[in-house]
Amino acid sequence: MFLNSLHNSSSSLLCGCCFSFMQLLAVFILVFPCYGTRTSQASCNQLDRNSLLSIYNGVSTSSPLNWSVSIDCCSWEGVSCAYNGRVSRLWLNSRGLEGKISISITNLSHLRQLSLAHNQLSGHLPERLFLSLNRLEMIDLSYNSLSGQLQASGDHLPVFIKTVDLSSNNFEGIVHSLFLQPARNLISFNVSNNSFYGQLPSVICNFSASIILLDFSLNHFNGSIPFGFGTCSNLRVLRAGFNSIMGSLPGNFFDLSTLQEISFPGNKISGPLSNGIVNLTSLKVLELYANELIGPIPHEVGKLSNLEYLLLHMNYLNGTLPLSLMNCTRLTKLNFGVNSLSGELSGIDFSNFLRLRTIDLGTNLFNGSFPLSIASCPSLTAIRLSTNQLTGEIQPEIQSLQSLSFFSIANNSLTNITGAIRILSGCKNLGVLLLSKNFRHESLSNEGNLVGSDGFPNLMVLALGRCQLNGKIPIWLAKLGKLEVLDLSENAFTGPIPNWLGVLPNLFYLDLSNNLLSGQLSAQVLGLPRLVRKQMADEVHYSYIELSLFVKPYNLSSLQYNKLSSLPPAIYLNGNHLSGNIPVEIGQLKFIHNLDLSDNQLSGIIPDSISYLTNLERLNLSENQFSGEIPSSLKNLHFLSSFSVANNNLQGPIPTGGQFDTFSDASFLGNPGLCGQPLGRPCTDLRKTTAALSPADKESLETKVIFWLTFGIGFGISFSVSFVTVGLSSRMFPPGSCCRRIFYQL
C-alpha cells in the first residue's frame, strides 16, 4: 500500500565521485599493472580448491558460478592462480552473493587480491582474516552489509597491503592503531559510509609514508582533526565529510603540498578559514560546506589556480568576494551560498571563468545589479543568486548564456518582469527559471508575442510566485509545451482560469493559489493530460536538474529535490474567488496527489467522482459553501492522509472506515449539519450544537506541501559525498504534521 506513493522517493547516490573514482583507478593501475593478464600456469592446489568450494557453499546467488569440480579451479570464474598453483586472486564483484564469508577463506594464504565488492554479504569478517591472508595487497569489500569491529581478536592489516576498501558496509568501532600499524605500504584506505567512531586515525600516516588517498566520510568520527595528517607527505585526497568533527584545520595541514582534495563537508569545523590554505597550490577540490566557518574568504584564494571545485556554502562566512578569486580560472563549480557574504556583485569580473559550469551565491547579502560579466562565462549551466539584495533589470547580455539551464534569482528586488521574460526567453536551454519574490506590484504583459514562437523551448519549471503581479494569467504561457511545473501563487491575477492551461501537455504541478481569480472551475482545466492519462503520467521527467532544490537548507537531513519526478503531482487553487460547482470531470485527475480548492466560493455538492482520484494524499475543500453530504465513497481513497471540509454547509453523517477513522475533528469543524465521529455529535441529535472554529482548525487550512518554488532555493549538489535524496511524500511526515505548510527559508 505504500509502494504507490513511494515511487517518488528514490534513494539515489549523487555521484560526483567520478573524479575520485578515476584517482582510485589510477592507483590500481599504478599498483597492479598486470590485472587481467595473469593466467594459470600450474593446476590448482587442492586445499585452495576445497576452500573455494566451501566459500561458495556458504553463500547463495541467483546466477550460479560455473565452478565445476571437473575443471581446474585456476580456470574458474573470478579465480587466478600463481605459478605454484596457489590462488592469488579472487574477484567476485557484483555476483549477487548473499550470506557470510566462510572462515575457509583464511586458507587462501597466497591471495594477493581479493574483491567481493557489490554483493549482499553480511555478518562479521572471519576471525583473523588479515593475519591469515598475509600476502594480501589489495582488498575490496565495499558495498556489502558486513558488520563488526576491525580489530576483533587482534587482527591487523598485513605488511604488503596497498589498497583497502571497506566502504559502504556496517562496520563499527574504532579504527585502532594496532590494526593499521603493520601496513607500511598502504596507499589507499577507504572506510567511508560505515559506523566507525572515535578520533580520525591520522596515526595511519606514521605507519605508511606512501598514502595517497584516505576516505573516512559518512561515519561517526568525532573530536578534532588530529595533527598527524601533516606527516602524510604524499597525500592527495583526504575526505572525512559527514561526521562530527570539530575544531579548525590544523596548521600543519597546509604543508601538504601534494593535496588535491580536502573534503570535510557536514561537520562542525569552526573558526576562520586560515590563509595558510592558499599554500596548497595543487588543490583541485576544496569542500568545507555545511560547517561553522566564520570570517572572510582568504584574500589570496587566487593562488589556488588549480581549483576546480570550491564549495564553502552553508557556513558563516562574511566579507566580500576576494578579487583574486578571478585567478582561479579552472573553476567549474563555485558555491558560496548560505553565508553572510556582501558587496556589490557587479564589481566582480567573472569573465575569466571560462570553465565555470555552476555558480551559487544564493542566500547572502550581495547587492548591486546582476553582474553582467557572468554572461561571458561560456560554460555556465546553472546560476543561483536568490535571496540577496540585487536590484535593477535583467539585461539582454544574459542571452549569450546559451547553455544556461538553471537560473534562480528569486527573492531579490529586480524590476521589469516583462523585460525579464522577453530577454530570458532567448536563453533557449533554460529548463528551470525561478523568479519569485521580485517585480513587486508590476503588471505582467499578456501580449501573445512576448515570448517568440520558439521562446523557452525547454522550460520545465517556471516560478513567478509572491510578486503581487497584476493582470491576467498571460496567454504566452500556452506556448510552453514542455512546462511541467508552474507556480504563480500569491500574485494579484484576475479573471478566470484560462481553459488552455488544461491542455499544456506536460503540466503536472499547477499552483495558482492566493490570487484574485474568479469564475467557474471548467472541465477543461481539470483535464490536464499528465494527470489524466496513464501513458502521460508515466512520462515524468526523470532527468536531474542542474542544482538541487533544497527544502530546508539549514538542515542536512532535510529534503532536497534534484529530480522533478520527486514532486507530487498537484493542483493548488486555494485562496481565490472561484465560484460554482466542482465539475464531475474532476474524477479524471487520476494521477493527482494533492488537490487544494479551499478558501473560494465554490458551492453545490462534493462530487462522488472525487473518489476516482485513487492517488490522492491531500484534499482540502475547506472554507467554501459546499452543501449536501460528504460522499461515503471517499473512504475508498486509501492514500488520503490529509483531508479537510471545514467551514462549509455540509450535513449528514461523516463517513466511517478507511482513512476517515484517522482524521481529527479539525477536518470537519464549521459544518453545523455534520454528525458522527470524530465530532462526537450523534447523528440522531443534530440540531443541538454548533461547532466553533478552533486554532487547530485554522492550521489545517494550510495544506500546501511545498514552497520551494517560490523561495525554495537552497544550494548545490554535494560533490564528493553521496547524498541521499528523497522525494517529498506525505508518508515521510510524522503523523499530525499532515496539514501544516512545511516551510522553508532559503
Ligand X SMILES: *[C@@H]1O[C@H](CO)[C@@H](O)[C@H](O)[C@H]1NC(C)=O
- Of 192 and 600, nearer to ligand X (C-beta) is 192
Q: Give min distance, CB of 608 to ligand X, in A.
A: 37
Helix, strand, coil share of the chain (percent; to 5): 20, 25, 55
Q: Shortest approach of ligand X to residue 566 CB, angstroms?
A: 16
> Which of residues 97 and 237 has its CB atom nearest to ligand X in the complex?
237
Shortest separation between residue 520's beta carbon and ligand X, angstroms: 33
Closest to ligand X by CB, 322 or 587:
322
- What is the smallest separation between the CB atom of 33 and ligand X, expressed in angstroms? 20
Q: How many CB atoms lie within 10 A of CB 320?
A: 17
- Say how many residues make up the chain: 746
> CB of residue 439 vs ligand X: minimum separation in angstroms?
11
CB of 136 to ligand X, least distance (A): 19
Q: What are the angstrom distances between the C-alpha of 299 and each of 206, 232, 275, 320, 339?
A: 33, 27, 8, 9, 17
Instruction: State the residues that interact with ligand X by CB under 6 A.
Output: 17, 20-21, 24, 66, 71, 75, 77, 142, 167-168, 190, 192-193, 213, 215, 237, 239, 302, 323-324, 327, 387, 389, 393, 411, 416, 418-419, 422-423, 555, 557-558, 711, 745-746
Distances (CA, A) of 177 to 156, 157, 164, 181, 203: 9, 10, 15, 6, 7
Distances 445 to 93, 461, 493 between C-alpha atoms, Å: 60, 19, 12
By C-beta, is 76 or 130 nearer to ligand X?
76
Distance (Å, whole) CA 458 – CA 470? 26
Q: Given the complex with ligand X, which of 77 and 699 has the nearer CB atom?
A: 77
Q: Smallest gap, in angstroms, from Cβ of residue 580 to ligand X?
A: 34
Q: Considering beta carbons, is residue 241 or 583 the nearer one to ligand X?
A: 241
Residue 67's Cβ-count burial label (10 Å; 0-12, 13-18, 19+) is: middle
Question: Per the structure block, which three cell numbers stand in for 692?
Answer: 466553533
Q: Smallest gap, in angstroms, from Cβ of residue 599 to ligand X?
A: 21
Sequential DSSP letters for 619-667? EE--SSEEEEPPPGGGGG-TT--EEE--SSEEEEEPP-SGGGGG--GGG
Nearer to ligand X, 277 or 613 (CB): 277
Q: Which residues contact 193 (CB under 8 A, 6 or more apart)?
A: 167, 168, 169, 217, 218, 219, 722
Residue closer to ligand X (CB basis): 190 or 611: 190
Rank residues 54 and 395 by Cβ distance to ligand X and give the closer one: 395
Distance in Å, CB of 552 to ligand X, minimum: 7
Residues pairing with 270 in the sheet: 292
The sign of the torsion formed by the CA atoms of 199, 203, 205, 207 equals: negative
Going by their DSSP bridges, the two strands 98-100 and 213-215 should be labelled as: unpaired
Q: How far is the CB of 14 from ligand X (least distance, A)?
A: 10
Cα torsion angle, 44, 48, 49, 55, sign: negative
53: cell is 568450494
Residue whose C-beta lies closest to ligand X:
419
Closest CA to 155 of 135, 182, 173: 182
- Give the Cβ contact number of residue 734 at 10 Å: 6
Closer CB to ligand X, 408 or 588, in the complex: 408
Nearest to 503 by CA among 532, 534, 474: 532
For residue 148, what is its C-alpha cell? 563488526
Shortest distance, CB of residue 598 to ligand X, whole angstroms? 22
CA distance 279 to 253: 10
Query: Is the Cβ of residue 106 or residue 217 nearer to ligand X in the bound state?
Result: 217
| Residues paired with residue 180 on neighbouring β-strands, in sequence order | none
Measured from the CB atom, the residue of 10 and 327 that comes closer to ligand X is: 327
DSSP code per residue over 328-362: -TT-SEEE--SSEEEEEGGGS--TT-TT--EEE--
The distance of closest approach from Cβ of residue 119 to ligand X in the complex, given in angstroms and rounded to an integer, is: 14
Cβ atoms within 10 Å of 7's Cβ, excluding its own: 14
* Distance of alpha carbon 105 from alpha carbon 654, whole angstroms: 66
Q: How far is the CB of 708 from ligand X (least distance, A)?
A: 10
> Please, what is the minimum distance in Å from the beta carbon of residue 315 to ligand X?
16
- We find the least distance from the C-beta atom of residue 388 to ligand X, in angstroms, to be 7
Cell (9 digits) for 324: 583574486
Residue in this structure with the C-alpha cell 607500511, named with its chain if needed = 184
Strands (E), 133-259: 138-140, 145-149, 163-165, 170-174, 188-190, 195-198, 213-215, 220-224, 237-239, 244-247
Give the nearer residue to ligand X in terms of CB position, either 88 or 659.
Answer: 88
Nearer to ligand X, 268 or 428 (CB): 268
Residue with smaller CB distance to ligand X, 11 or 66: 66
**Hey, is 287 helix, strand or coil?**
strand
Nearer to ligand X, 193 or 700 (CB): 193
Nearest-approach distance from CB 393 to ligand X, in angstroms? 6
| 503 neighbors 529 (Cβ within 8 angstroms) | yes
